[in-house]
Structure 1
Amino acid sequence: MVEYKLQTVILLLAGTCLGTMAKVTDDTFGATGYQYTVIAVSLLCMIGALRTFSLDKLQYKRESSSGMNSLSYFLSKDTMDHINTILKPLVYLCLFYFFNYPRSTFGSYYLVLVCLVYCVTGIAYTLAISPEFSQAQLWSVLLPVVLTLIANQSKDAAASVITPFVFPKWALEAFIIANAKEYIL
């Protein structure tokens, strides 16, 4: 419970800091603020989602050896984690949207962030069950930063081959589209 409160405070602080730092301009549609948002929300949500499966590996092995269905175990843990998927973007946006005040609606930002959190939560689940916990933490810090850097590469760069397949590219495009729609209207 203490960890959840700490994550909430960190999300509020990140929303405040990034909302004041990244201003929306007509030239960039606020692209730098979106990059910061994708990195911050991905990092915080991946670290939080690691604990869903990594802390009870021993319990899972004990229960599965007695005949527990693995799919039902996963679905129950995932369903309980949907509370975080819904609340964490809301907590972040409460202050980010107030300090940044972008042109797009709160609902469109919220929808993009919910999809982003759901995506990184799945990646964190995969990391949590694969390596040791310390390695999973390292990967969950590196992946959002490196993939966001890859998503911002020009079309001439060598990394542009994998750019269409990384989740930050999708989130950044969704933010830009949501903001550009308000310029048209």
Structure 2
Amino acid sequence: MWIHKSRNPNQNFKRGGCMFSIFLWEEKDVQRGLFKMTCFSAVEPKQLGVILKDMQRIKDGYAWFLDGCVFCIQPFQNQSRYSLKGYRIFFNTSIETGMYLYDITLGLLGGQISGIECVIKCPSKKSSDWISGLRSDTSFQMTDPRGLFNKNGCGIIVVNDTVILQMRNRNKLKVYEALKKIDSIREELLSSVEYDLFSCSKEAG
């Protein structure tokens, strides 16, 4: 079972002007990409603790931890009284591991994923660097010069020195296909960062 004792479960993490009140993200957690999925289920948040009894209770949710990786489920703070209940799922594992853990938790409870995001932040990259790099790559279509792009149906948002990759469709989102598409673009962006760092180190040498 996934456990981790070295991190404060009450930390907050801000990126792009929004709060991941899920408590725990450190700078290194998003350098390789932090995934967030929005899910709706008929399960009431107050029932979640009984159903997910093997997960660790943390502030605002439930989590598994192992070797720097995390998978956690956070109910929406404001829930509808009559319709499906909303949850956010965060993980910095591989997409295969993330989907497996989803399948054995909210997936088993009839969860429906309506949106997927991946957040990337690199200490060496400012918003202007990300935007310049994306504009120079013809495979990315710019939709707003302030930092909005699109590639293969995936939206790319550059804000506050952070890149957010996202795909949403409440009714017809093909979850694993969308995750693979986002993961491919994530790898492409990180490869360009690593190439830039390698080039800089050669020039400095």
The TM-score normalised by the length of structure 1 is 0.29
Higher helix share: 1
Higher strand share: 2
The TM-score normalised by the length of structure 2 is 0.27
